[in-house]
Amino acid sequence: MTSTNVHTDRRLGWVLLAAAIAQIVAPIVQTVADVSQPGDDSESLLITPAGWAFSIWSLIYLLALAHAVVTLWRGDGVGSRRFLIDLIALYVGATVWIAVSAVAISWLTFLVLAVMTCFAIDAARIAASARLRDPAWITWLARAASGVYAGWVSAAVFLNLGTGAIELDIADPDIRGWQFALLVGAVVFALGANLLMPRSPGYAAAVVWALIGIIAAVAGESTTALVIAIVAIVLLVAQTAWQSTRALTD
């Protein structure tokens, strides 16, 4: 991964910082305006994580802001121009997602989040494929910022898919079978995406966090969902450990 793009065009770094700040300001404005919050319609889904799990957004925003500041401070985007463009598109998408959620149209928030997921995974993949730079913490910051973001939206997009299906009367929230299938689909997707990120454990960590939130929510409510979530955590942890071991020998 080269750093010439930011050195030759610092405007890209400024755009990255502006986008990172915009996605932080957007939910604050939404709260002050007292309008619908992302996920407000997800309460009818069995597989919705416990409320405290969504606090991960604070970490996501902090990492994004720190990486953007370092990009300008060091004059180094820790990656190709594509990496930075992916992040900018992701952060702008997050701002749009907040705005769209204000009109409480679940299927539309799903579409926005689906696009965000594509950009997030591509950015995390690029960062994960990078060799450690000097100093190494810059590369790890890039991996953390993109990986954690990608992991969380990878889980969230399936939740939004469920709420969108309910809103369009495609699925019945009282029927659990399709929700179990949705959870399995989210796990399979996460395992596949995690294969692209052998040096970015932040992706798996964010997905595991979402699964822990689901475990807390379904405990005593659904043994099936509980088992799926626990097995998924075991598989993700094992896969990440195996990939990390192999990456050390590369």
Whole-number Å distance between alpha carbons of 212 and 164: 23
If the chain, 250 residues long, is cut into consecutive pieces of 10 residues, what is the mean pLDDT of each piece?
Answer: 48 91 90 61 78 95 95 69 93 93 82 96 91 78 95 95 88 90 96 92 96 94 95 97 76
Whole-number Å distance between alpha carbons of 65 and 96: 18
What are φ and ψ of residue 129, in 5° steps? -85, -5
Please provide the DSSP assignment of the chain as one string.
Answer: ---HHHHH-HHHHHHHHHHHHHHHHHHHHHHHHT-PPTTGGGGG-TTPPPGGGGGHHHHHHHHHHHHHHHHHHHT--SS-HHHHHHHHHHHHHHHHHHHHHTTT-HHHHHHHHHHHHHHHHHHHHHHHTSPP-SSHHHHHHHHHHHHHHHHHHHHHHHHHHHHHHHHTTSS-TT--HHHHHHHHHHHHHHHHHHTT-TT-HHHHHHHHHHHHHHHHHHTTT-HHHHHHHHHHHHHHHHHHHHHHHHHHH-
pTM above 0.85, yes or no: yes
- How many alpha carbons lie under 13 Å from residue 50 in its C-beta half-sphere? 13
Q: Which amino acid is at 21?
A: I
| Predicted pLDDT of residue 171 | 85
Are 145 and 94 a contacting pair, CB within 8 Å? no
Would you mind telling me the total number of residues written for the chain in this entry?
A: 250
Q: What is the CA radius of gyration of the chain?
A: 18
| Predicted pLDDT of residue 3 | 43
For residue 137, CA distances in Å to 133, 141, 249 come to 8, 6, 20
Residue 70, token pair as written in the block: 């370092």
| Predicted pLDDT of residue 76 | 62
Domain edges within the chain:
4-249
